[in-house]
Every structure is written in structure tokens, then in C-alpha cells.
């Protein structure tokens, strides 16, 4: 699911996480962080601007998904 979010196939909102268990949310968080590290590591010196923009969009989508996930986790723990 982390790759689908990064590629833009899955739009994330609070409703996305409602049907997930705590363990599934933790797993998604772990996989998202791992995919973000992977994307950052593949940054090339000779990378063309369209490729750089696509990578930055993927990272942005993942950052947004992680922010929404953390907010939802805090909201449901209370």
C-alpha cells in the first residue's frame, strides 16, 4: 500500500485508516518510512528535472499519508 500511495494510486484521508487495526497501521507506517528512505537513496546527480519532480511528488504523498496516519492514531488513542 505504501508504494500505491507514493505512486498516487491511493488517495489518503482519515477514512482510509478507519478499517485498519493498530497492527496494520504500524505496518503501513514502517513500510512507508522504508519506501521513503529508498526513494531518497536513489537520488542521482545526473537526474533530469521531470524525474526529480516525480520523486519529490512521491515523497510528498508519503509525507502527507504519514501525517494523516499519525493524527488519526493520536485521535483514536484518547
The per-residue pLDDT for range 16-64, each reduced to its tens digit, is 999 999 999 999 999 999 999 999 888 776 778 888 899 999 999 999 9
* Whole-structure pTM value: 0.86
Q: How many domains does the chain have?
A: 1
Nearest to 4 by CA among 44, 23, 31: 31
Quote the domain boundaries for residue 39: 2-77
What is the band of 67 on the pLDDT scale with cuts at 50, 70, 90?
very high
Q: How far apart are CA 37 and CA 19, in angstroms?
A: 27
Q: How far apart are CA 61 and CA 1, in angstroms?
A: 12
Q: Would you state the torsion angle of the CA atoms of residues 64, 68, 69, 71, taken in this order, to the nearest 10 degrees?
A: 140
What is the band of 5 on the pLDDT scale with cuts at 50, 70, 90?
very high
Amino acid at each position: 500500500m505504501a508504494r500505491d500511495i507514493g505512486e498516487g494510486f491511493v488517495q489518503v484521508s482519515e477514512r482510509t485508516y478507519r478499517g485498519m487495526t493498530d497492527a496494520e497501521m504500524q505496518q503501513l507506517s514502517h513500510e512507508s518510512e522504508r519506501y521513503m528512505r529508498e526513494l531518497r537513496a536513489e537520488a542521482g546527480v545526473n537526474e533530469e528535472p521531470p524525474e526529480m519532480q516525480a520523486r519529490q511528488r512521491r515523497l510528498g504523498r508519503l509525507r502527507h499519508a504519514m501525517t494523516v496516519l499519525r493524527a488519526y492514531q493520536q485521535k483514536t488513542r484518547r
